Structure 1
Amino acid sequence: MTTHGDEMANGPDGTGGGPLPSGVSADELRARFEAQGQPGLVEERRRDARQARGLYGVFAGVAAVVCLVLMVVRLGQGDALGVWVATYAVGVACGGWGFVLARSGHTRWAMMVTCIGVALAGVGDSPAFR
């Protein structure tokens, strides 16, 4: 970078590589700046985020469907209504909510809500509620 008199603006000796007040040379700052603009890195992060959203969405959807199927099967076998129906219903609701959260990009919340739903379905499937 030059000024009006063809002097280098970065350093006192005109080389442009002199230390700045922070103690870092202009060449080092330039190298750091150029290293930031890696287009492959941005695409890789987007792809990873998209895959995570898809994975958590599938996990939440499968959890909701399994809870729903188990509820229908147990009702079809003639089991009496009880607390287990409520735990399966909450499992279905949590799985659906986890799916919505995953689709909106809140993957941590989606995983937490889905795990809570699966845990409640497991409690509803315990022998204590038969």
Structure 2
Amino acid sequence: MTTHGGNAANRSDGTGGQPLSAGPGPGTSADELRARFQPQGQPGPKEERLREARQARGRYAAFAGAVAVVCLVLIGVRLGQGDALGVWVATYAMGVALGGWGFVLARIGHTRWAMMVTCIGGALAGLGDSPAFR
């Protein structure tokens, strides 16, 4: 720091030679300290987006898994009732396969594809449950 005649030279930032980060001095109130430390415990926008993406992957994976399990249960129920094998088994099996694929896609982060594949699998399962295939 350059002094001229014993006085500290003014900095370009207007601090007049004072340290940039003045610690809590005797004039600092508890409210000011609390305001300084409050944002430290909160996650930033990046961490929040990562958490939301993780939750979305979990929701889509759970939905795809549920579609696959429901299709498997429906195959078991219809075969247990004595229904003859037919096209309905293929549509339910495609529902299971697409639900499983949707689960895998959701786990690796391709949530849009996972939702599309899972919805197609659910639609095929609904088609297999139609009266045309009984």
Same-fold call, TM cutoff 0.5: yes
Equivalent residues in 2 for 1:19-98, closer than 5 Å: 40-98=44-102
RMSD: 1.8
TM-score, normalised to structure 2, is: 0.68
Identity in percent: 81
Matched to 1:49, the amino acid is A
| 1:83 positional shift | 0.2
Larger radius of gyration between Structure 1 and Structure 2? 2
Q: Between Structure 1 and Structure 2, how many residues are aligned?
A: 97
Runs of 4 or more, structure 1, over 3 Å off, are none
Structure 2 regions of 5+ residues with no counterpart?
1-11, 14-42
Q: Following the alignment from structure 1 to structure 2, what is the Cα–Cα distance between the partners of residues 74 and 40?
A: 51
Alpha-carbon distance, 1:115 to partner: 0.1
Letter in 1 for 2:101: W
- Cα distance between partner residues in 2 of 1:53 and 1:85: 29
CA shift for structure 1 position 82? 0.3
Determine helix, strand or coil for the equivalent of 2:44: helix
Q: CA deviation at 1:97?
A: 0.2
1:91 offset after TM fit, Å?
0.1
Q: CA shift at 1:81, angstroms?
A: 0.4
Q: Which runs of 5+ in 1 are unaligned?
A: 1-13, 16-38
2:121 to 86, 98, 117: 117
**Which whole-Å deviations, capped at 9, do the CAs of 1:82-103 have from their partners, x for residues lacking one?**
0000000000000000000000
Tell me, in whole angstroms, the C-alpha distance in 2 between the residues paired with 1:40 and 1:70. Answer: 45
